[in-house]
């Protein structure tokens, strides 16, 4: 038999990512700059959510 339990002591993803995550500045007309901004945002999400659920940005 397999048991699955959710730890109620850790916050949910929504609770962790609530509020400002980071500020990203980029040039929308520069594809390289846009790609870098996306990477920066994913890293910021992972940093803010570390300890919650592993890589949060992996779902995006």
The whole-number pLDDT of residue 7 equals: 56
The whole-number pLDDT of residue 22 equals: 87
45, with CB counted inside 10 A (0-12, 13-18, 19+), is buried
Element (H or E) spanning 48, and its range? Answer: helix 31-49
Neighbours of 8 (CB within 10 A): 7
The whole-number pLDDT of residue 2 equals: 57
- Per-residue pLDDT tens for 5-49? 555 566 677 777 777 888 999 999 999 999 999 999 999 888 887
| Domain coordinates in residue numbering, the chain | 27-60
Res 57 pLDDT > 70: no
């Amino acid at each position: 038999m397999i048991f699955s339990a959710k730890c109620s002591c850790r916050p949910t993803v929504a609770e962790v990512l609530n509020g400002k995550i980071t500020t990203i500045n980029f040039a929308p007309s520069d594809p390289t700059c846009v790609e870098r901004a996306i990477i920066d945002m994913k890293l910021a999400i992972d940093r803010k959510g570390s300890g919650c659920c592993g890589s949060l940005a992996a779902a995006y």
